[in-house]
Amino acid sequence: MSKRQMIIGMHLGNGYGALAEAWRMPGVDPRAYTSFDAKVRQAQAAERGKFQFLFLPDGPHAAGGDIRYEPSGFNLDVMMTLAAVARGTERIGMVATGSTTFNEAFNLARHFKALDIMNHGRTGWNAVTSASPEVAANYGQRIPSSADRYGRAHEMIQIVQALWGSWGKDAWVADPETGEYAKDEEIAPINLGGEFVASRGPLYIPPSEQGQPVIFHAGGPSPNALSLAGRYASGFIAAAFTIEEARAQRRAFREATERAGRDPDEIKFFPGLMTTIAKDKRAALDRRITLTGRMFPQRAMYLQQMLGVRIDPARLDDPLSPEQLSRAHAAGGDPRAVRALEVARDGWSLRDVLAHGVIDYQPVVVGPVTEVADHMQEWFEAEAADGFWVIPDVYEGGLDAFVDGVVPILQERGLFHLDYEGTTLRDHLGARPQYGVDARVTG
């Protein structure tokens, strides 16, 4: 019996990296935001590391902090980026966020299936709803109610999948000898319409090497997310800060998948992991100070709330005093507070506490390669994860440190594959074949 191994995806965002000052780092092209060459290079580096997929989140709006100092976190266009990446890579899968709220089903189905043809069966669609008023405004609309957003999301996924399957699997003949181009009886309109979305079809694209793209979903374990992911998703892009939280979420998504009539192993659960890697802890902390230090005064205020003690942003070089430590507690229900307290108790200066990434939107490891590998092994063996979506601090440099440093350790420990076994994203995920809608899903 072969040992269970982890699946690794990599966040591919704005061309620089996840952290605010990534664009200013030595070796980084400050114009990488508009450089498709840069993104192809980054994807190739992830492929060198045998990552199973890239994950491209999307707004669509300009995400990020203050544009005066830092770029949007998103790609300028996820589909165009993936088209370039498709032409420049061979094996790595590519999963892009596509809003079910503000896309036409036919257009989305067409773009994703064409990408799946282009990259020879390596595409995944992260089907999410859009809840930000900023996004809605870009479409001259308001954000619908949660019920309507998820109602539309179900219809979108089913109609998109039906369009994907509307050109029958064996319809395409293209035999120059006989002159037969296609079997028209196997190319059928779908004629599907619901409360929110409708399309006649057919979509005139034959199957890819994996048939059609796989579905991902992302976010937290809300009842709506559980229901949607349970029915359709092969992968879930999660946000969980502790092993316990991740285990509980993973279990919930597996149960939801089972309730939908599927095998719980059909959904793979991926917590995030942000990495800042250097030869030792001190160097890694310094690297992260360089990359995020500008935000520390503001984050110190948030740390104050998390720990329930007054913090002077002018005195970040000091650790908490024994008196402060005695009063500090994990306050406010933020799951990250426990970790922040733990790090503070280890005696780090407040600057270093913040440099540990205790306030970030995913769990953070700042340290040497073994520390990253240990984190991943611990979570994986605790069944808190089927793998991770890794968010390097900087793509040029930080990603390489992961690929060249962490990956060999995971491989040595038998936790990660030595090479791609298959060629498609379904192969990489162990996802079952599917063409058109999943007949097991009803309603």
231: enclosing H helix or E strand:
helix 223-232
Q: Where are the alpha helices (H) located in 308-396, listed in sequence order?
A: 322-327, 336-345, 350-355, 369-381
The span from the CA of 219 to the CA of 250, in Å, is 12
C-beta of 139 vs 440, nearer to its own copies: 139
Site track for its own copies across 259-298, x = CB under 8 A? -----------------------------------x----
Handedness of CA 11, 110, 196, 256 (dihedral sign): negative
Our finding on whether 232 is near its own copies (CB under 8 A) is no
CB neighbourhood size of 14 (10 A): 21
Q: What type of residue is 402?
A: F
C-beta of 34 vs 321, nearer to its own copies: 34
The span from the CA of 375 to the CA of 243, in Å, is 10
C-beta of 91 vs 356, nearer to its own copies: 91
User: Tokens 């492929």, residue?
Assistant: 47
C-beta of 180 vs 255, nearer to its own copies: 180
Residues forming a β-bridge with 158: none
CB neighbourhood size of 318 (10 A): 12
Annotated binding residue at 58?
yes
Q: How far is the CB of 154 from its own copies (least distance, A)?
A: 15
- Under DSSP, is residue 10 helix (H, G, I), strand (E, B) or coil? strand
Our finding on whether 315 is near its own copies (CB under 8 A) is no
Q: How far is the CB of 163 from its own copies (least distance, A)?
A: 9
Annotated binding residue at 420?
no
HSE-up of residue 418 (Cα within 13 Å, Cβ side): 4
Q: DSSP letter string over 385-401?
A: -SEEEEEES-IIIIIHH
Q: Please say whether the beta carbons of 164 and 213 come within 8 A.
A: yes
Annotated binding residue at 97?
yes
C-beta of 124 vs 202, nearer to its own copies: 202
The span from the CA of 343 to the CA of 273, in Å, is 18
Q: What type of residue is 75?
A: N
C-beta of 55 vs 112, nearer to its own copies: 112
C-beta of 183 vs 327, nearer to its own copies: 183
Site track for its own copies across 142-181, x = CB under 8 A? --------------------------------xxx--xxx
HSE-up of residue 53 (Cα within 13 Å, Cβ side): 36
The span from the CA of 129 to the CA of 142, in Å, is 13
Our finding on whether 31 is near its own copies (CB under 8 A) is yes
Among 204, 223, 265, 345, binds its own copies (CB under 8 A): 204
Q: What type of residue is 170?
A: D
Our finding on whether 34 is near its own copies (CB under 8 A) is yes
Phi-psi category of 202—alpha, beta or left, where left has phi over 0 and alpha has psi -120 to 50?
beta
Our finding on whether 195 is near its own copies (CB under 8 A) is no
Q: How far is the CB of 295 from its own copies (least distance, A)?
A: 13
148: enclosing H helix or E strand:
helix 146-164
What strands lie across the sheet with 235-238, from one edge to the other? Answer: 268-270, 235-238, 214-219, 123-128, 93-99, 53-56, 7-11, 387-392, 272-277, 364-367
Q: How far is the CB of 88 from its own copies (least distance, A)?
A: 8
* Binding segment toward its own copies, per CB under 8 A, in 64-72, 329-337, 405-413, 426-434: 64-72
Tokens, residue 299: 């984050």
Size of interface with its own copies, in residues (CB under 8 A): 69
Our finding on whether 183 is near its own copies (CB under 8 A) is yes
* Binding segment toward its own copies, per CB under 8 A, in 42-50, 61-69, 339-347, 433-441: 61-69
Among 12, 46, 95, 115, binds its own copies (CB under 8 A): 115
* Binding segment toward its own copies, per CB under 8 A, in 58-66, 210-218, 391-399, 404-412: 58-66
Site track for its own copies across 67-106, x = CB under 8 A? xxxxxx-x-xx-xxx-xx-xxx-------------xxxxx
* Binding segment toward its own copies, per CB under 8 A, in 19-27, 44-52, 376-384, 409-417: 19-27
Among 202, 368, 397, 436, binds its own copies (CB under 8 A): 202
Q: How far is the CB of 53 from its own copies (least distance, A)?
A: 19
Annotated binding residue at 150?
yes
Q: Please say whether the beta carbons of 106 and 163 come within 8 A.
A: yes
Handedness of CA 333, 334, 338, 344 (dihedral sign): negative
Which residues here bind its own copies, judged by CB under 8 A? Answer: 21, 23-24, 30-31, 33-34, 36, 60-62, 66-72, 74, 76-77, 79-81, 83-84, 86-88, 102-107, 110-111, 113-115, 117-118, 134, 137-141, 174-176, 179-184, 187, 193, 197-202, 204-206, 294
Annotated binding-site residue numbers for FMN: 58, 97, 150, 222
